[in-house]
Amino acid sequence: MEQFEQQSSIRYKQFRELHVTRLIDYNKQASTPIPRCVLIVDEAQKLFEGRDYQQKADVTRILSSIARQGAAAGIHIILSTQSFQNVALESDAKEQFHLRIGLRHATSMGCRALMGRDNDAMLELEPYTAIYNSHQGETQRNKVVALADLPNFHTRLNTLKAKYPQTTQQKTPSTQQRSTQATKNNFASGDVSAEW
């Protein structure tokens, strides 16, 4: 995350050289355009768990800084989490996350931590649906969307496998049988480090 924060500073220095403030304007003038980059943080709440208060403060500061200043520099953040309740972002930084997508949630507190503004719509979602909100969680902007036909996942997967057959070499049956037996033996003895 620190590298993304540093990249933001570097980009703003480059912008000043061309007297611009946004990536889109820089790329119109620069001989070598700068690409956009995305910081993806899965299970974001884990960054805020534990007793290391300095780490939590650093994570909050860095994520908040990137959220506030990153978009204009072409640096974007995707946070994925089971529960947004423990994600400690400063309120003005959280407001920079315009797009919010939420699956069914069990508590009002959890819904509001993600969506804000008394938005409890995620409590009433049906299976395979989500709330899509591109207006910082404003309740009147909720859209219920169906997730891509998940009940037919295996049918779709088999169709893709038939359309794009595997091109790597398969193991011979005897090698595969030996590998499977070795894996079973390793697992039975408590050694789960072997490749599956």
Averages of pLDDT over runs of 10 residues in the chain (196 residues) are: 91 96 95 92 87 88 90 92 81 87 89 88 89 92 78 72 63 43 38 34
Residue 57 sits at the vertex; the CA angle it makes with 92 and 53, to the nearest 5 degrees, is 145
- Are 24 and 30 within 8 A, CB to CB? no
Residue 151: the pLDDT is 58
For residue 190, the one-letter residue type is G
Integer Cα distance of 126 and 124 in angstroms: 7
Distances (CA, A) of 38 to 58, 73, 169: 19, 11, 34
Residue 20: the pLDDT is 96
Threshold 0.85, pTM exceeds: no
Instruction: Read off the tokens for 16.
Output: 């000043």
Q: Cα–chain-centroid distance for residue 82?
A: 11
Question: Closest by alpha carbon to 44, among 114, 111, 143, 144?
Answer: 114
Distances (CA, A) of 130 to 28, 101, 122, 127, 157: 37, 7, 7, 8, 22
Residue 153: the pLDDT is 65
